[in-house]
Structures are given as C-alpha cells and as structure tokens.
Chains A and B, each alone.
Chain A
Amino acid sequence: MIKGITKLLVSAILLFLIIVLQSSIFPLGYLGFILGILFVLIFNLIEKSSSYSGVFVALWAGILIDIYSSSFFFGFYSIILMALAIIIKIVISKYVRIP
C-alpha cells in the first residue's frame, strides 16, 4: 500500500514539473503536453492491468493539462486520458501475455 501511494505521489510531482513548469517557458508548451501524455501511456503500459493507479495518474495529468492549456471544456483531457488508460488495461489484460 505504501509503495502504491509513493508511486502515485512521485508520478503526481513529475507530472506537475513536466506540464506546469514547461508552460512557463516560451515556446516549450508543446513539449509539456506531449510529455504528459507519453508519461500516462508508459505508466499504464508498465503497470499491472488490475491496478487502479494508472487511472488516477491519467486523471491528474488530464486536470493539469486542462488547467494549463486551453481545451474545449474543463475536464476534456481528463476524460480522454482516463478512457485511454482503461483501454490500455483492457488490451493488456486480454491480448498481452508476458512469458
């Protein structure tokens, strides 16, 4: 449990550094957005498919992107990234077998 919480905290801080501080520098705003999405994808790929952490990391990344970028509405990227996280978990649980 402690390991899980530590993992979530470290991910939250890393995402904060990537997305928020990148947006403070011209013209690296693009980089923050792309790195944020990549982080979510990689996190969900390497994590166990039964775990919920990936969904929360996707939610946090989405909220940061919604706040520090402009989107159609607040929560747009949160919903997209959470859906992506769940899809990755379904694909891994059904079609990927690690020997």
Chain B
Amino acid sequence: MGLVLKNKIVLFLVISVTLIGVNFVFADQIRNFSYSQTFGAQKVVWQLASAISFANQDQLATNKKLTEENQRLLSALSDLKKIQEENQFLRNALSIGISNNKKLIEAEAFGGGRFNGKDFSYEDSIMINKGKKDGIQKGFPVIISDKVLIGRVSEVYDDFSRILLITDKSSMVDVQIINNGRIEEAIKSNTNNEEPDSSSDDEAKNKEKVNFEKIIAIAKGEGCFKISLDMFPKDKNLEDNALVMTSSLSGNFPSGYVIGTIKEPKVIDTETFKQAEIIPAFDPKLIDKVFILKNIDIVKND
C-alpha cells in the first residue's frame, strides 16, 4: 500500500510540474483548440437554451422582433444627438473632427457566462468565433445591431475571443444621459429646420438651442445582467426612461453608442450622487451576431 501511495504522489508531482510548464507555453493554444472542437456543440446548446427560455417559437420571435425594434429606436435617438453635436463642432469651426475610420468585424456568439475561479463569482461574458487571425485585439468595443454597445474584447486567442459584457462586475463605462424633454426639443428643432442666426447677439442663444446639456456619469456593471448608474450629480435632473449613451471621456469607448435607459432614479439624502438602475438595451440570451469595432479612433470630449 505504501508503494502504491508513493507512486501516486510521484505521478501527481510529475503531472503538476508538466501542467505548470504547459501554462507558460501552450495555455492559449490548448484553449483555442478546445474551443474549436466544442464550438459546434456549444452553439447548438446556446441556441437551444435561448429557445427553451420562451414558451414557444412564436413568443421567441415576437420578443426578438420587439427587442430589435427597441434597439433601432434607441439607435436613432443616439444618431440624432450625434448629428446635433457635429453641427455644433462645425459651427464653432473646431479643428478636431469625428473620425469615421472604423471597420466592423462580424462574428457569431456562442457560449454563455463563465465561472470565475479566482474570486468564485460569475462572469457576464460570451464567446465569439473570431480571434487574432481576424485582426481582433484586446479592448476593441463590441456592438450589436446598429449602435448598441454590449461590451469589449477581454481575451483573444487565435480563432476565438471572449467578450466581457458591460453588465459584468468589473465593467465601468463613462456615459452621458439624455433626458426625454431634451430629445423632444431636439426633434422639434430638427423638423422645423431652424437655422441659427450668425449675428453675435444671438450666438449664445443658438449655442443653447443646439447644445444638449451633457450630463456625464458612470455605468457600473453589477453582475447578473444588471447595470447601475453612478456619479450622477445630485443637482441635475434625472428622468425615468432617459437615454444612456457612451461618452468618450476616458477614451475607452467611442461616443454615441446606446447602453440602455434609466429606471427608477432615486435620491438618497446620505449619498453624494443620484442613483438609478440602467436597463440594458440588449438581452444576453438573444445575442447571435455581434460586430467588433476595429481601428476605431476615439475623439476625447472636453
């Protein structure tokens, strides 16, 4: 019995040393190979899980249609804001422009969240079937449909990548809030085709007319597909259903991408900032095709 035990311990030590050695050399290749072998099975399970979440296929199709329509409308609102900002930039004759140098890489999503063995928590992330060979690098923003941001590339292998969703606990995105009243103003001024008067007396008025009040805050991931709003000034107005978009203040994400909408804003006397929940503009269970923003130039806001 002693010899058997001794053999087992020797076997254990040999395998452990081998694994530690492999970790430094082949870890990424082993992961890439495993993902390539299990991609098909994981994709089937991913789609099956999505279908099972709903009572029947009709309900799934309806939900998908409504989600896509909602995303389109939110994207249109963010486009409107972007156009107004660009008008202001041009009018003020700034030399800094908004770069359109972006390429989109299309990818398929498979694989749900991952268990985080370091801190025994659950990671909100998805896998996609594109990697280093397709030009993807760590940190690239990832969107779905038109302009809905879902996260960023956190790990890259040869043929696969992992996307950390904005709902993950480690995710923080600087955002700008557009209250509903301002959106209606913008739509009115846009449809009336109001041209700003170039005389100096009315310049201040024109700036106020076209310039949205930029309220910058932070969208903090809470895990389990929840996002909370942080560092929103207490003295500013925060409405229910206000649109939340990315701001390029920190340079991590390009400006004008939809995050979601505000829900239940509240003021707590003992807190320095207003608090609210952000309803994400995407449903993780319905993510199928994603787009990775490659070579994007981020223009930092003042």
A99 at interface, CB cutoff 8 A: no
Which chain A residue has the least Cβ–Cβ distance from B110? A24
Task: Please report the C-alpha to C-alpha distance between residue A75 and residue B124 in the assembled complex, in whole angstroms.
Answer: 23
Q: Which residues of B contact A77 (CB under 8 A)?
A: 117
Q: Which residues of B contact A75 (CB under 8 A)?
A: 16, 19-20, 22-23
- Chain A proximity mask over B38-53: 1 for CB below 8 Å, otherwise 0: 1001100110010000
- A29 and B114 alpha carbons, distance in the complex (Å): 5
Range of interface residues on B (Cβ < 8 Å): 35 or more
Does more than half of chain B's interface fall in helix, strand or loop, or is it mixed? helix
Q: How far is the CA of A25 from the CA of B113 in the complex (A)?
A: 7
Question: How many residues of chain A have a CB within 8 Å of chain B?
Answer: 37
Fill in one digit per residue for A12-54: 1 if any B CB lies within 8 Å of its CB, else 0.
0000000011011111111011000000000000000010100
Q: Mark B215-232, 1 if CB is under 8 A from A, else 0.
A: 000000000110000000
Which of A23, A71, A82 has a CB less than 8 Å from the CB of B112?
A: A23
Q: Which residue of B lies closest to A76 (CB)?
A: B117
Given contacts A73-B20, A82-B15, whether A67 and B46 have CB atoms under 8 Å apart is no
Query: What B residues does A71 contact at CB under 8 A?
Result: 117-118
Q: Which residues 61-90 in A have Cβ within 8 Å of B in the complex? A: 65-79, 82-83, 86, 89-90
Q: Which residues of A contact B (CB under 8 A)?
A: 20-21, 23-30, 32-33, 50, 52, 55, 59, 65-79, 82-83, 86, 89-90, 93
